[in-house]
Amino acid sequence: MDKEDGAVNRFHLKHVYESQQFDRELLDTLFRVADEIKADLIRGDRSRYRLEGKIMASLFYEPSTRTRFSFESAMTRLGGDILTTENARKFSSAAKGETIEDTARIMAGYADAIVMRHYESGSAERAARVSPVPVISAGDGAGQHPTQALLDMYTLKDNFGQIDRLRIVMVGDLKYGRTVRSLCYLLTKYDNIEIVFASPTVCRMEDDIKEYLDRYQVPWSEETELDQVLPEVDCVYMTRIQKERFVVPEEYEEAAGKYILTLEKVRTMKERAIIMHPLPRVDEIPSEVDADPRARYFDQAQNGLYIRMALLYLLLQQA
């Protein structure tokens, strides 16, 4: 058995729709394949992992830049092909009232994998229940964004060499931020993790995540003053206030602009601490912070390519 076959045999998922599906062994396998893919591409070589003859359907019902293009780039770099639409909400049969389940059944006849972003929480899991081919969530409303969390974890590992014993502050829109929700689920797989939530009152992390952290004995706390926390953490995970998710405009106005990570504040952080952000950003990280060596959000976005290449390979080689 060669190393590629060994990795596939240890990766037993068929679909990816939530972070809770992953254990530490699956994460280790995914990260190892991503490391090898990254090394190949940095050297300018073709990836040793290939998916010639495979087709990925890209169904995005919400706007996306990084997630959509990194998935499509990932499939192309693996030697596969893609089927895509600019706006599935408008240009697919969803505009005619077709259900997620029916769309998944139809697309499964055209492609070997379906990557779906949808505005309804739980949509990818619904598609996975009826699809004979792998379904991968690319974000579902305010629910989860598991592949973002996977690349976030990979970024932590890439920077610190390990993920255990880290203290992380999550900042901004924690109520509607699917990326921080998914990341919390994955962090419970590691030891001696501590999480601090810093958000406006109207954007606090939901109780279901706090209860999940309690169940897995991951210490967490809530802070209102970010300045007090910055010198004490290993990672600052910034998020934008998502205007499009607010029903009450006054609540958005209350939250917008409350936490801005200025260069002056960055200078109070640990020398080896890092700044992450799922992007896009609005005003929460001024552009002058980009040159600081602690800024890792563009590397983080690049890591999305390696993780998604690894994930597609592991899912499709066993399909």
Per-residue pLDDT of 268-288, as tens digits, reads 999 999 999 999 898 999 999
pLDDT at position 84, please? Answer: 87
pLDDT at position 2, please? Answer: 47
The full length of the chain comes to 319
Distance, C-alpha 253 to centroid of its chain: 27
pLDDT at position 243, please? Answer: 57
Question: Taking the alpha carbons of 225, 227, 232, 234 in that order, is the dihedral positive or negative?
Answer: positive
- Residue labelled with tokens 């010639």: 52
Q: 3-145+302-316 with 146-297: one CATH topology?
A: yes
Question: 238 by DSSP, 3-state: which?
Answer: strand
CATH of 3-145+302-316, one of 3.20.20.60, 3.40.50.1370, 3.40.190.10, 3.10.129.10: 3.40.50.1370
Structure tokens at 300: 């983080």
pLDDT at position 242, please? Answer: 66
pLDDT at position 155, please? Answer: 98
For 238-276, write each residue's pLDDT tens digit: 998 865 666 566 666 666 768 899 999 999 999 999 999
Look at residue 32 and tell me whether its pLDDT is greater than 70.
Answer: yes
Look at residue 66 and tell me whether its pLDDT is greater than 60.
Answer: yes
Q: What are the catalytic residues?
A: 66-67, 96, 117, 145
- Residue labelled with tokens 């706006």: 87
CATH of 146-297, one of 3.40.50.10540, 3.40.50.1370, 3.40.50.720, 3.30.70.20: 3.40.50.1370
45-73 mean pLDDT: 92
Q: What is the pTM of this model?
A: 0.91
pLDDT at position 247, please? Answer: 58
pLDDT at position 1, please? Answer: 32
Look at residue 90 and tell me whether its pLDDT is greater than 70.
Answer: no
